[in-house]
Structures are given as C-alpha cells and as structure tokens.
C-alpha cells in the first residue's frame, strides 16, 4: 500500500491556524430535560435526584430524550468544517492489514486478520498443506456490524469449537458450538451467558459462567450471584450442571472456572469485587472428588498458572504487593505450605507459561522487562526486547516448539515476533505496513510531583521539534483504578492526533497497578481523591513546562477514567478547555445499584457503608458536584445506549446537570451511540466516526478554524 508522511511544510506553527479571537461558538438549543425530583436520605442527609427517570432505559421518555440530545449533538458536529477531513485521515491510516500470531488446534493453524477497515477481525485457518481459508467471519453476523465475536475456545482434539458472540455491545453473550471440519452448528445455542470464559474438559464439554436472567431490564438490573456451569455436548442447556455458586454459602458476584493444561484439576475463583478472590481446586482424576480450599478469603488476588503433576504453581499478591510465584502440593494447598518459586521484587510481576517455561513479565516504571525461568525455578535468561515499550505474549501450550510476543509503544505500531524458547533468539514475524512515519515522533517519560509529594510517572508523546510555547493542543488521558496499568501502546487515533501537532500525555495515576497493590490501594475508597490530585498535577506539569496551556488542554478517560474526567472538571473547571468523559461512572451514590456495579466497591466504597464514606463519595461524585453559575469546559460526554457495564444513566444525568447549570458559551453535548455498549466489539466504522467527532469537537473548541496540519504527501512504500 502507498504510505503517507507529513511534508516539511506541514510543520508550521499551530498558531498560524488558530484565531486570536475565536468566532462565536455554534449556536445551541438544548432539549428541555424535565426535572422529576426524587429524594433519598443517607444518614439523615437528604439528596435530591432530579433526573432519576433517565435511569429507565426502557421508557419512551428516555428514548425520546436520547433522540433529542443526539439531534443537537450531531447538528453541532456537522458544522465543524474539518470533521470530514479527520474521518478521511482516520480511515486512511486505519486501512492497513493487521495479522495476529498463529496458534495450532488439532489439524489446523489458526490466525486472526483484518484487511484494513473490516469492522471485526476474521479468524482464518491453514491446513497441513498450507491451504488458507476463512474459518469464522464476525463481519457476516449482522448487517450493521454490531454483533461481534468475543471469545473462541477449541476442544482438546481441536475438532469442536465453542465461540461467544455479543449483540449490540452487550456483556450478555451467546455461545455457539460448531464442528470444525464441516463448519456446521452442532447443537442449540447457549444463551444468557455473562462474564464468562469457555474452558473445555477434554472433548466432551466445557465450563462457563452466568447469572440468572434478571427481572426488569437486562441492561441495568442488578446481577450479583454468579454460577459456574458445565455443559456436556449433545445435551440441552437446561440440563447443564451447576458446579459452583448455587448455594447461599457459595454466593459470589464473580465466579470463574478453568482447567489445568493436563485436565487434572478444575480451578474455581470466586469474588465479590474486582479485587481479592477465594480459590478452590477439584481433582477431576478422582471420581466424585470434592473441592479443596486453597484460599478462603478475599485478602489477595491468586490464581493457578500451571501444574506439574500434583505440584501447583500459583501467582499471588498475598503478602507480596508486587506479586510472586509460589509452589505447593495440591493435596494440601493452603498458604502455610507455599514455597517461593519466583520471589517478589520491587517491580510488578505478571506471569505466563509456554514451551515448558515460565516467563516473568515485569513493569519497570510502566515499561516491560521479561525474564525466562524453567519449571525448577532456574533463571534461563533476560529477553532483550526490541526497544522501550510494552511486550505481551510469551504464552502457549507446554509442547509448543516456538512462541510469539508482541511489542509496541506510543509512537510505534505493534509488531509480532517469533521466539525460540531454547536459545532465546527471535525474529520479526509480522510488521504493519502503515502510512505513519514513527521516526517523526518521540516519547518522553517524566516524573512529576503530586499534591501530597508523591512522584508520578507520565509518558508524553509528540512530533519531533515540538516548540514548548504553551500553544500545542494536548490530550491528557488517564484511568487510575482497579489495579489496571496503562503501559505504552500504539493507537491509530492518537497517531492522527499527533500528526495534527497534538501532544498525547498519559500519567500512571495511583489506583492503577503500575507499582503493585500498594499503588492501587493508594487510590481507593477514602483515598480516591489522590487519583484526581495526580491527574490535576499532571495537567499543571504540562502547563508549567509549556507543552500546553489551559486554552489548549483536553482531558479524556473512559469508564473509571470517565469518573476521573468528571471529578477533575468539576473540581478544577479552570484547568482545561475541553473535557471528554466516556462511558463514565458519574453517580457515585447509586453506581452499585446497577448490573454488576456493586463489584466495584473495593475501589469506591458505597454510600451505604458509613456516614463518612457517603460524605466522601458525595464530595467528589460528578453528578452531585455540578454547581449553578460555574463556567465548565467545553464538554462532550460519550456513551452507548446498550452499555450494561456502566449504564448510560450515569452519562445522561451528568449531561443534564451540566446543561442546566452551565454558565457561558462553552457547549455541553452528549453523544449517544445507538446499539452499542461499553466499547468492546465496537465496529471499526463506528470507532472512526467517534474519533473524528471527538478530535473535531476538541480542536474546534480550542479555537481552530482549520486543521492545524491538513496536508499529507503520498509516497511509495
């Protein structure tokens, strides 16, 4: 394919495109959102909710409100002159072949591929004669591309496949069982499956997890008793055996089951929140065996990574905040009998296995380092990675002769490598042919000081030769929660932003997992304000060092990151020009009453816990902290009408509060994607449209009448 690079002429100062006095903003006439006050009492404090009615996702009133808000939003976006140019460039850059690493199942080698602008990756296969064919194409599942394939799992002999699909972005799944050779559906589809893996027991059946179908709306009704089932091939789903979770003693919000590679042990993890799990094992080689308890509390995150006969290898953060690997015999696997296999270090560990080896993957200031061990705990080597960035993979079957890993950073598109575990050598397996010249961009890691003196790392990526004049359009992106780490990775959308002279900055906030459990816990419950303080300090660092200024700064985040944006913009509305909260958790007094929201209480606490916790949550809850007569930044809230992870009512209520109370001309829009969920499985076409709207809205409200850098030059690859 032909490649595009920016011409030297395009490196003009952004100020040449920006007017000193931006034209009056596009006129807005918001829909009238009716107030229907509902009063709740928390510890003798009354709290009024004017927009509770928007929580009813099945009502005609909510449906009409969504349509009216979208009409205003898209009328506004249609008037941004360069929105179409952004969409064109995003489509152009997105349009390159993407190939996943191969994996063997039965008589075939499988791999995922996307020709460029396909909405979903296609699963291909090759036979022993290297004849290639399409095996499963999710692009054919629905005409509008809103049905996606979320997971694929093969039986032990590779002759049967079970794959899960999501419709409209929902977390509820269907599992379809198919004969691999003929590609014919074998039996009735399993329905109403949620938050589940698919783990085969030999060739006769598999384990999966789900909840009872909720009463009321399946998009918002609470779900809190997860159950592990076993489906035997050739039988009805109604006769599936409940393995764990049916009794009051076994009631947990999240239950998952998986088998060790040799099918000897069934492992069950059970938890009530997103942190901490109980762990049980069952010896399937012994008929009618019962579960043996490994851990019977929620004080750690622990899982079985591998086994060698009765010797279990566990990855845990019990008394090891940065995680370690331990071994124990399955006959008495309690923590008192654990022995260190890969001890804890100062860096956070994640582990994988393949080809008879362990791979210890460490984060060193959010950058990857990988060590290889044998099953006796002997260090074989440190793997010298292709550069500074994020490495993933190094996993596979025990008998695999070669493994694969991926490598990427913020300005380098992801490539994959074929790795020889015996000598540690690797070769490039696949590199994208993309019309983006990475050599024109650079990333820099800095450490800044937060409000309480904590040092926080941040990676800033931009075009080489950036002038630190305070006038560079900048997106500050954050998350800060649930032990999730933001490590360097390439994004096509961010590449388009940086082509326009934009700066992209990602701080590793407390609440994340970059420095282990202590870093995570420092951003939870009554310490959640630390996360917002870290984000505010990151913005102040960028401004003080003249990467940008408040007039050119946008803040962005999704889900828990949407909460981050909502809290930051209500606490410091002066700090940024644009706010972009996506699928955010924004009503902190009621989040736990929807779907699986109660499982987030480890990070947030709930308004029912105590008076102190209620007051703390109310003090930062974005919905409850929009104040009359304050000038908030230009805001575009984004959500999906089928989001059953963070229900769209959060976004609806926040947008309604902002539109009602906003002072000044800064617009407050809500962009509601229809027939879409929390984000996973979103068709490429919709994703491109979303980013064109987000970038167009951002640049327009920073005062740009034209794209800062509209020209590209076509050259030969």
Q: Report residue 86 as tokens.
A: 């952004």
Residue 265's alpha-carbon distances to 260, 289, 324, 552, 642, in angstroms, are: 6, 11, 21, 56, 37
| Residue 631, number of CB atoms within 10 A of its CB | 11
Angle formed by the axes of helices 649-661 and 560-571, to 10°?
A: 20
Is position 621 annotated as part of the catalytic site? no
What span, in angstroms and rounded, lies between the C-alpha atoms of 242 and 250? 11
Set 199, 209, 435, 559: catalytic member: 559
Q: Which residues contact 249 (CB under 8 A, 6 or more apart)?
A: none
What span, in angstroms and rounded, lies between the C-alpha atoms of 677 and 532? 26
The full length of the chain comes to 717
Q: Which of 147, 143, 203 is nearest to 174 (CA)?
A: 147
Pairing of strands 324-329, 98-99: unpaired
Q: CA dihedral in degrees (185, 187, 189, 190; nearest 10)?
A: -140
Residue 514's alpha-carbon distances to 9, 55, 388, 451, 520, in angstroms, are: 40, 35, 16, 19, 8
Q: Which residues contact 656 (CB under 8 A, 6 or more apart)?
A: 33, 50, 51, 54
Cα 81 from chain centroid?
A: 31
| Residue 172, number of CB atoms within 10 A of its CB | 21
Q: Which of 701, 587, 687, 705 is nearest to 646 (CA)?
A: 587
Sign of CA dihedral 526, 564, 171, 303: negative
Three-state DSSP state, 551: helix
What span, in angstroms and rounded, lies between the C-alpha atoms of 207 and 1? 44
Is position 559 annotated as part of the catalytic site? yes
Strand boundaries in 100-253, DSSP class E: 103-105, 108-114, 122-126, 132-136, 147-154, 160-167, 172-179, 190-194, 199-201, 205-210, 227-232, 241-244
Cite the active site residues. 559, 678
């Amino acid at each position: 394919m032909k490649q595009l690079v920016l011409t030297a002429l395009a490196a003009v100062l952004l100020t040449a495109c920006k007017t000193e006095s931006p034209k009056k903003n596009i006129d807005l006439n918001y829909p009238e959102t009716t107030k229907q006050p509902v009063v709740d009492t928390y510890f003798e404090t009354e709290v009024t909710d004017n927009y509770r009615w928007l929580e009813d996702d099945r009502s005609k009133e909510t449906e009409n409100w969504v349509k009216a808000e979208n009409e205003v939003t898209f009328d506004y976006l249609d008037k941004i002159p360069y929105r179409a140019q952004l969409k064109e460039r995003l489509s152009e850059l997105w349009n390159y072949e993407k190939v996943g690493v191969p994996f063997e199942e039965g008589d075939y080698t499988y791999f995922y591929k996307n020709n460029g602008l396909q909405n979903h990756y296609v699963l291909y296969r090759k036979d022993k004669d290297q004849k290639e064919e399409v095996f499963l194409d999710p692009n054919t599942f629905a005409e509008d591309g809103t049905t996606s394939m979320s997971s694929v799992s093969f039986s032990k002999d590779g002759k049967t496949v079970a794959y899960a699909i999501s419709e409209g972005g929902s977390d509820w799944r269907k599992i379809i069982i198919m004969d691999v050779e003929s590609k014919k559906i074998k039996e009735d589809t399993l329905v109403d499956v949620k938050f589940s893996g698919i783990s085969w027991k030999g060739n006769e059946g598999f384990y999966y997890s789900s909840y009872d179908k909720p009463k009321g709306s399946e998009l918002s009704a609470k779900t809190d008793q997860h159950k592990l089932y076993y489906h035997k091939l050739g039988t009805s789903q109604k006769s599936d055996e409940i393995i764990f979770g049916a009794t009051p003693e076994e009631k947990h919000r999240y239950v998952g089951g998986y088998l060790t590679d040799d099918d000897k042990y069934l492992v069950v993890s059970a938890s009530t929140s997103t942190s901490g799990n109980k762990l049980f094992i069952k010896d399937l080689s012994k008929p009618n065996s019962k579960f043996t308890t490994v851990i019977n509390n929620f004080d750690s995150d622990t899982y079985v990574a591998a086994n060698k006969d009765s010797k279990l290898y566990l990855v845990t953060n019990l008394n090891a905040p940065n995680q370690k690997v331990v071994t124990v015999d399955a006959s008495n696997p309690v923590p008192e009998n654990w022995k260190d296999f890969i001890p804890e270090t100062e860096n956070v560990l994640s582990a994988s296995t393949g080809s008879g080896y362990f791979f210890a993957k460490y984060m060193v200031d959010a950058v990857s380092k990988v060590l290889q061990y044998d099953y006796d705990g002997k260090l074989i080597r440190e793997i010298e990675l292709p550069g500074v960035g994020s490495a993933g993979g190094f996993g596979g079957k025990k008998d695999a002769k070669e493994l694969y890993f991926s490598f990427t950073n913020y300005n380098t598109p992801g490539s994959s490598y074929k790795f020889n575990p015996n000598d540690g050598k690797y070769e490039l397996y696949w590199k994208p042919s993309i019309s983006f010249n990475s050599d024109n961009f650079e990333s820099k890691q800095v450490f800044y000081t937060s409000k309480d003196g904590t040092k926080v790392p941040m990676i800033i990526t931009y075009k080489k030769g950036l002038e630190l004049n305070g006038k560079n359009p900048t997106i500050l992106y954050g998350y800060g929660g649930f032990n999730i780490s933001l490590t360097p990775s390439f994004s096509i959308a961010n590449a388009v932003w940086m082509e326009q002279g934009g700066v992209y900055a990602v701080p590793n906030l407390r609440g994340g997992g970059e420095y282990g459990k202590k870093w995570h816990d420092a951003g939870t419950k009554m310490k959640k304000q630390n996360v917002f303080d870290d984000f505010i300090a990151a913005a102040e660092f960028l401004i003080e060092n003249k990467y940008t200024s408040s007039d050119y700064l946008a803040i962005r985040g999704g889900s828990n990151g949407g909460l981050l944006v909502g809290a930051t913009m209500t606490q410091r509305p002066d700090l940024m020009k644009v706010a972009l909260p996506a699928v955010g958790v924004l009503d902190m007094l009621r989040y736990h009453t929807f779907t699986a929201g109660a499982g987030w209480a480890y990070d947030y606490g709930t308004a029912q816990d105590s008076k102190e916790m209620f007051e703390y949550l109310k003090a930062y809850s974005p919905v409850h902290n929009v104040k009359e007569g304050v000038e908030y930044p230009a805001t575009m809230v984004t959500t999906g009408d089928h989001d059953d992870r963070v229900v769209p009512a959060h976004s609806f209520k926040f947008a309604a509060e902002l539109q009602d109370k906003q002072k000044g001309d800064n617009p407050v829009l809500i962009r509601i994607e229809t027939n879409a969920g929390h984000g996973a499985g979103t068709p490429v076409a919709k994703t491109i449209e979303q980013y064109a709207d987000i970038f167009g809205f951002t640049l327009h409200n920073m005062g740009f009448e034209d794209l800062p850098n509209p020209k590209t030059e076509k050259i030969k690859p």
